[in-house]
Amino acid sequence: MDKSLPPRRPLVLASASPRRLALLQQIGIEPTALLPTDLDETPRRNEAPRALASRLALEKAFAARDVASKRDDLADSLILAGDTVVCVGRRILPKCEIREEAQDCLRLLSGRAHRVFTGIALCTSNGKTRERVVESRLRFKRLSGREVEMYLATDEWRGKAGGYAIQGQAAMFVARLIGSYSGVVGLPLYETAALLVGEGYPVLGGRFGDSG
């Protein structure tokens, strides 16, 4: 009996994030192409964190699909996109680019609970779309001023929502995590695999999610 994987359709990851790529590779998936998008990620007026994560994931997927549709090798691709939003209550924290932003985020998160919403969207060349939003809840230990300064010196916070990277040295700040670790990193693997299988893309020989 041939136990090799069935042929896979082209898969485009609409991201330049090395973290999302590494997570896909962790479950044996190598995207055919990376098509990062350049979108305005500013929240709309009164937009809730969950809604923002969902909207941005969909917008990234649609933008990448438009680019892929113009390439013969990618015209029939599945397009996978994701976006991560960190919030305290309804306050959405920025994807930090300057030290002062990251410092403010870390001081706010110190000793407090916060939530991470990661939206994922999968769309096809004919416009069919599947999506999920995964919520994780975390609590940071109380951070000393020295700990904040030492973490800022690592530069891990650059470009990270909430000013930290859980897969790096900030892991020592997380006193509790309820939800998806991979979702906090940037791509919830359970939900991503389920979306792909639902669209006929083989994961683990196509048996992912079988109850038998």
DSSP 113-125: EEEEEEEEEEE-T
b/e per residue, 47-79, with b = 16+ CB within 10 A?
Answer: eebbbbbbbbbbbbbbbbbebbeeeeebeebbb
72 is catalytic: no
The beta-carbon contacts of 162-165 under 8 Å, at least 24 apart in sequence, are 162/86, 162/93, 162/96, 162/105, 162/109, 162/114, 162/116, 163/93, 163/94, 163/96, 163/101, 163/102, 163/103, 163/104, 163/105, 163/106, 163/109, 164/102, 164/105, 164/106, 164/109, 165/19
* Cα(58)–Cα(41) distance, integer angstroms: 12
* Cα(95)–Cα(60) distance, integer angstroms: 16
Residue of 40, 73, 83, 155 marked catalytic: 83
Residues marked active site are found at 83
